[in-house]
Structure 1
Amino acid sequence: MLYLRRYYNAGRMLGLAFPLAMLLLFFSALPAEAHAILLRSDPGKDAVLSTPPSQVSMWFSEDLNPSFSTAEVVNASNTQVDAKDSHVAANDPREMIVSLPNNLPAGVYVVVWRTQSADDGHVLRGSLRFSVAQADGTVPQVTGKVAPGTGILGGNSASDASSGQLDGSSFFSFLMVTLVDLGVVFWVGAQLWHSFVLQLHDSEAVEQQDADQRAVARFERYFALPILLLLLLANFGVLIGQGLALSSGDWGQALAPATFQGLLFHSRFGSFWILRLGVIVIALVLAAFASVVRERPRAMDSILSWLNLILSLALLTAVTLSGHAAAVSGDLQTFAIVGDWLHLLAASLWVGGMLYLSLIYLPVIRHSALPERTRILLSTLAHFSPLALAGVVIMAVSGPFNAVVHMDSFSQLITTAYGRALSVKVLLVVALLVTSAIHVLLYRPRLKKASTQYDSALSQNEAGTADEEKQVLAVAPEAKQLEQSVGQQTRRLTTVLHWEPLLGVAVLVCTGLMNVFAGSLLPAAASQTPTQQTATVKPYHGTFPTKDHQYTINLTVSPNRFGTNVFTVSVLDSKGKPDTNIGVSVYTQMLDMDMGTDAVNLQPDGKGHFSAQGDLNMGGHWQLRVEIRTPEATLHSGTVDITTPF
């Protein structure tokens, strides 16, 4: 009956996990944004106007924090020309407006904007270009040495996380986010253990009950307060990291009271950050009480356990509501938040549970006699397995579909640093699944079989009498051999159980990287120094064939930085001769996040080249597709990936 009850409990857990996972299957692949991305503007991108506009209006994908969302308009000489009154519209939190002076002269203008999402707190910079034509309809060309938009709103800072560089300030943000994830997963996992593994233990064995009580006491005495204090400090670190992103790595500005005030009281991110802080403080008070008052009535232990469980679920909710899921717009927001909450719960069930098993439970039973230790370990793992299995199911189903939200193609798993971090995470999860399968399907059944035989042999020895002395002597060597086998297999199993949480921690480290860069990871060279990162920008020159190898494309992008660039292409036919009787277009696509595809139609210059001005709206990893149109209306294209710095 005991085994039937365990299988029933496991089935009940799976029965709950699968419907929830199916909800994620259908709803986690719906569009979500990781930043407040520019959707449209007036004047439009690359617009050529016959009359100067009175203002620039921009509409973004998420609600904006008005304290830190701003814009500047500069001319071809990189001089600010707007009225310095950029603001978020009072009637639309996704619209930003900046006024322009009357009679703006003819020329090329670049609008540089910086947004902070009111939902998840992430910062993004970008630009758009428009032109005011002269009376004859022509537009003056940009001839200055400094490209318009250079150095505006911290755009040259290598500390900007959206540039994809893991320098000092972005590493600090990564570290804080990772510590929050680790602390939440471990602490919530411990509460789930106390409520659904230890309290529901149906064993009447004294040694089992004693081990459970000592595990709770070990967690309360040595781990609860340090974990919560670390969470408290890391939570403040996340806020400071937001300030660093806004101030382009300026620690003085990031720590200024005005920065904290703007972050906390002018965005939903700040509201839920305060909720996170409140939950942690309450949990700290309960942990301090449990640490000081160790002799408590059984009813008090039950009350503390349930209060901590409620706080752990509240903490998961607060972390989710201050993350990417809260940035999904419309009716889909609820489903996205539920999906993200379940994914974090799954990590707590699986990774947090393994951390508890390795750091709390295994040390408690380490000094028990071998037969008792084996029985306790097998019984506890049998109760933990349904929780871990529910976490595995939810995480395995939700993970790939959450990845689809941020990735447009499989090639991005290799061509972008975000994709490579995700690839490493996937490999680590696979390794974790394989390791778990080995211990559940191989090591644990072998240990259970050997332990049953060993207990049987011990029973025979204890039942022996003086008249059965020969039989007892025959059984004793067998019991000794079985004892050695049980000891060896127990050590093998516990070794695997110590390795599993290390893989889980590595998974959370990858998650921290992806969270900090929020889809903007770039292929950064680890050997680059900060000096190299801010060195003079050089134009891109590249030669590559079309997919059908009928043409060779020579492409130049100058100056190759975020903002306005000149795209120049020359085309050689299969015989290596220049071909000018064609049409050429360049299609630009940001690989680090979904910003759509823009087209730049190149014009012949009469010297065998085709060129035109176009925008790369932010620093990052871009894919350029050059399309060649022949007089016979056939299309030939080739693609190349480039890295564009700020």
Structure 2
Amino acid sequence: MPMRTRDSSGRRLATLAVCCAIVVLVLAAVAMPVAGHAYLSDSDPANGDRLEALPETVTLEFSGDGVQVADVTVTGPDGEDVSGDAVIDPDDDRLVSVSLERDDTDADGIYTVDWEILAEDGHTTAGSFFFSVGDEPVDRESVLEAYADDEDDVSIATTAAKGALLLAVVALVGVPVTAAVAVYPVVGRFGVAPSVVDRRLTRVLAGAGVVLFGAVLALGVARSASIGSSGLSLEAIRTFAATPLGHVWLVQLLVAALVATGLLAGVRGSLDRRYWLGSSLAGAVVVQATVSWTSHSATLVDRLQGVTVDFAHVAGAGLWLGGLCVLAAVLPTVLADAEAGDRDRLAADAIRRYSIVALTGVTLALLTGLILAVWHAPTLAHLAETTYGTALSAKVLLVVAALGLGGFTRFVLLRRLDPDRERSALERRVRGRGSSGRGSDGRVRENGGREAGDDPTVDETASTTSTLVTRVLSLEVALLVLVVVLSGLLTSTPTAVVAEQTDAGDPVTLEREYDDGIVELTVGSPSVWGEHGSAFVDEGEPVVFDVTFTSASDGDPLESDRPVTILAHNERADTQLQFDLEATEEPGTYSTVQTLPDPLWWELRVSGSPEGTYVSEWVDVYAVPDGHEHVHEYAPLEETGFTHLLRIGAIVVGITGSLAVAVETVRFGRRQR
């Protein structure tokens, strides 16, 4: 390959890296942190509503991603299913309605609404709520069932399929690029037949193509099985295929089949190299574009920004990991086929060329990874207290370890492979012995007339280093494979923001100590959450108040000798209520279901007489006004100090990485002259 062509190719790659980094930074600069998946944010009737008559329809409104498939069941007081088919609003796919079919003369009682939906990002969520008709009091069990968390269907099958899909895409993106930039030009220079590379690459790519097809097929089957309660069936697959998300899946399946077929033809030798290399890259780009189109970021932040950042993240990983796969799988075979004296130069040349590709990939992967963290894990608490955060932290540690191995290869092993460096070291050793000379050709000769370039220790060192290079590359590949597998888990798990926001609904316990014991007030409702030692509930919503007395010394429950009551006072509304609690099956626990009819702060005085000791303790509960935007609205989070650090880190990575690519390209060009 002429030097000018090599130099211009390197400059184009460096320019592309800089442009990609700038585009991603600009798009991400205006994006705010978001949530993912789809969750119930409102309903009509609302959770816990008491109605005079049975409504004709029940409407559910979801936040986050749009709804692809909905299954809603409304169960009446006698356990009978009174719901018709769930209908997704054609003008707003976040609205789902279901008609009710029941005789109004027998409508009084409690109705439970169980829902399960497949969201636009491919995830299934489920939950329930209730409302009542008539004057029948709401029982404690109904409220307790209603404030159970919405459930995410994050199956092992889905996670495994996504991990396999990402691995296949990464290989199909990075292998062709690295082969074209760092392998074929090198083997041509050192007299190794390109067919040696072809045999290895076709097998690697064909394997990735088969994995891609299998992963896409498995992902569609898993999503189909999550629809409704009937499990996997032909009808479920047809239902899923008829949705917009199913249409994307069919495109992915078709492209994956074409890629696998073309690569298998390449293995048999019936397809020219440029076609099977080009088709693998083009197919992977199409599949990843469709995956990015339905990602959390694309459906919640903005289509353009979300798709760009998600796509660039996977593309960067592809250039890094896919390139390593080429070197780890092909380089040992190429070195074995090369002349012994050329192996160190061949390995060094290939690694230098790959370094440009790898730096480009690392820059894109780190830059976009920081941006994704801003969107989906914007605080340190998100990293420490959620499954998403734990997986993300593990991924970061593995990336750091892989970067360390990459740096060791580039700055330590590559120098050992440099023949000029070895010759200079030998000259220093010879000069140190004080007896050397130069031949007519200018080569250094040691005692006995042996030429420095023929020193067997140099060849032995180069051979040992080449072997070590392949081992280090294999270890780096293994680490990055684990990184991609964790990425599959991250795309199947609710983001840290979602995990935090959907904690609303967990009962909140407020504890107070008295002389010899502890009194606990547990507040439970469909939307309760705790903050700063207080409980927050929705105005007018049924709330379960549980009071428990325990001994401070041994934690045993204590029975009250007199009725347990709660005196509730709202100073702003000048409202005062008194609730009598009844004993439950749990010793020392007393309960009631009540509503706080007025908004803002309520002071609750809990009174009782555990084992003859009079207790009167105060706690605060805040009733959120109707229509007030709070945690269940899934509003974008405010910027935090941690998000500022992440954004600064993204800018530093973008600038530093782009400069590193440019410098590496210039240095490589100079060495080729």
TM-score scaled by length of structure 2: 0.69
Distance 1:323 1:449 in 2: 48
State the one-letter code of the partner of 2:73. E
Secondary structure of the residue that 2:60 maps to in structure 1? strand
Q: Which moved more, 1:470-479 or 1:374-383?
A: 470-479
Q: 1:235 aligns with which of 197, 216, 241?
A: 216
Counterpart residue number, 1:41 = 43
Pairwise CA RMSD of aligned residues?
4.9
The 2-side partners of 1:191 and 1:89 are apart by: 44
The answer to whether structure 1 residue 339 and structure 2 residue 305 are counterparts is: no
Cα deviation, 1:33-85, whole Å, max 9, x if unaligned, reads 22x222322122333334443221112233322xx4121223466x2453323
Q: Deviations over 1:386-440 (max 9, x none)?
A: 2211111111121133134333643233333232222211211121222222222
Q: Which runs of 5+ in 1 are unaligned?
A: 165-169, 524-538, 586-600, 615-625, 638-646
Q: Take 2:419 and 2:577, find their aligned partners in 1: how far apart are those partners?
A: 74
Distance in 1 between residues matched to 2:547 and 2:311, nearest whole Å: 49
Letter in 1 for 2:89: A
Structure 1 Cα separation of the partners of residues 381 and 569 of structure 2? 25
- Greater shift after overlay, 79-88 or 108-117? 79-88
Match of residue 26, structure 1, among 29, 45, 48: 29
What is aligned with 1:441?
411
Q: How does 1:202-281 map to 2 (within 5 A)?
A: 205-207=189-191, 210=192, 213-220=195-202, 222-246=203-227, 253-254=231-232, 256-265=233-242, 267-281=243-257
Which of 277, 289, 313 pairs up with 2:265? 289
Structure 1 counterpart of 2:85:
85
- Which amino acid in structure 2 is aligned with residue 47 of structure 1? D
In structure 2, the CA distance between the partners of 1:194 and 1:161, relative to structure 1 (3 Å rule), is farther
SS of the residue corresponding to residue 83 of structure 2 reads: coil
| C-alpha distance after superposition, 1:563-586 (max 9, x if no partner) | 99835255999999999999799x
Please name the residue that 1:643 is paired with: none
Q: How does 1:85-484 map to 2 (within 5 A)?
A: 85-100=85-100, 101=102, 103=104, 105-117=107-119, 119-134=120-135, 140-142=137-139, 162=152, 170-198=155-183, 201=185, 205-207=189-191, 210=192, 213-220=195-202, 222-246=203-227, 253-254=231-232, 256-265=233-242, 267-293=243-269, 300-328=272-300, 332-366=302-336, 368-407=338-377, 409-448=379-418, 452-453=422-423, 471=447, 473=449, 475=451, 479-484=455-460
Q: CA deviation at 1:355?
A: 1.7
Q: Distance in 2 between matches of 1:560 and 1:90?
A: 29
Is the contact between residue 195 and residue 309 of structure 1 (CA under 8 Å) also seen in structure 2? no
Q: Which range moves more in the overlay, 341-350 or 319-328?
A: 319-328
Deviations 1:95-153 (A, max 9, x none): 11112346374443332111112x3222110122333352xxxx513266997679xxx
Q: Distance in 2 between matches of 1:149 and 1:606?
A: 21
2: distance between equivalents of 1:564 and 1:445?
72
- The equivalent of 1:508 in structure 2 is 484
Give 2:546's aligned amino acid: T
1:596 matched residue in structure 2: none
TM-score, structure 1 length as denominator?
0.72
- Mapped to 1, the partners of 2:52 and 2:151 lie a distance apart of 38
CA distance in 2, matches of 1:497, 1:540: 51
Q: What is the CA-CA distance between 1:349 and the residue it aligns to?
A: 0.8
Q: Secondary structure at the match of 1:246?
A: coil
Give the direction of change, closer, same or farther, for the CA distance of 1:108–1:350 in structure 2 (3 Å limit).
same
**Distance 1:322-1:542 versus aligned 2 partners, 3 A rule:** closer
Cα deviation 1:240-267 (Å, max 9, x = unaligned)? 111232256x6xx41x2111111112x2
Does 2:544 align with 1:566? yes
AA of the residue aligned to 1:162 = D
Q: Is the 8 A contact 1:107 1:133 kept in 2?
A: yes
Q: What is the deviation of 1:472?
A: 5.5
> How far apart, in 2, do the equivalents of 1:542 and 1:211 lie?
73
Distance of 1:268 and 1:213 partners within structure 2: 43
**How far does the alpha carbon of each residue in 1:468-492 deviate from its partner, in whole angstroms, 9 at most, with x for none?**
9875536559823333333333333
Where does structure 2 lack aligned partners over 5 or more consecutive residues?
428-435, 500-505, 529-540, 571-575, 583-588, 596-600, 606-615, 623-673
Contact 2:190 2:342 (C-alpha < 8 Å) held by counterparts: no
C-alpha separation between the residues in 2 aligned to 1:275 and 1:438?
Answer: 42
Instruction: After superposing the two structures, state which structure 1 stretch, 353-362 or 501-510, moved more.
Output: 353-362
CA drift at 1:559:
12
Q: Secondary structure at the match of 2:74?
A: strand
Is the partner of 2:129 in helix, strand or coil?
A: strand
CA distance in 1, matches of 2:110, 2:206: 59
- In the alignment, what sits opposite 1:59? 61
Judged with a 3 Å threshold, the aligned counterparts in structure 2 of structure 1 residues 317 and 6 are, in CA distance, closer, same or farther, namely closer
What secondary structure is seen at the aligned counterpart in 1 of 2:332? helix
- The one-letter amino acid of 2:19's match is L
**CA separation of 1:89 and 1:4: change in aligned 2, threshold 3 A:** closer
* 1:494 and 2:470 matched: yes
24 and 448 in structure 1: CA distance in 2 versus 1, 3 angstrom threshold: farther
Distance 1:188 1:430, change over 3 A: same
3-state DSSP of counterpart to 1:354: helix
Conservation of the 8 A alpha-carbon contact between 1:187 and 1:224: yes
User: 2 CA distance for matches of 1:545 and 1:398?
Assistant: 47
Residue type of the alignment partner of 1:554:
E
Structure 1 segment 611-626 matched on structure 2, within 5 A: 612=593
Q: Secondary structure at the match of 1:37?
A: strand
CA distance in 2, matches of 1:125, 1:545: 35
User: Separation in 1 of the partners of 2:296 and 2:188?
Assistant: 46
Q: 1:18 to 1:92 in 2, by over 3 A?
A: closer
How far is 1:19 from its partner?
0.9
Contact persistence 2:125–2:153 (CA under 8 A): no
Partner of 2:641: none
Identity score, percent: 21
Contact 2:123 2:153 in 1 (8 A): no
Q: Describe the superposition over 1:476-521 as per-residue Cα deviations: whole angstroms up to 9, x where unpaired.
A: 5982333333333333332211111100110111112222334499
> How far has the Cα of 1:453 moved from its partner?
1.8
Mean Cα deviation higher: 445-454 or 426-435: 445-454
Structure 1 residues 23 and 564 mapped into 2: Cα distance closer, same or farther (>3 Å)?
farther
Tell me the residue number matched to 2:625. none
Matched position secondary structure for 1:85: strand
Deviation at 1:286? 2.4
Counterparts in 2 of 1:23 and 1:469: CA distance versus 1, 3 Å: closer
> 1:120 is paired with a residue of what secondary structure?
coil
Across the two proteins, how many residue pairs are aligned to each other? Answer: 556
Judged with a 3 Å threshold, the aligned counterparts in structure 2 of structure 1 residues 540 and 115 are, in CA distance, closer, same or farther, namely closer
| Partner Cα separation in structure 1 for residue 520 and residue 205 of structure 2 | 62
Alpha-carbon spacing, 1:182–1:462, altered in 2? closer, same or farther (3 Å): farther
With over 3 angstroms needed to count, the CA separation of the structure-2 counterparts of 1:378 and 1:81, relative to structure 1, is: same
Structure 1 residue matching 2:152: 3-state secondary structure:
helix
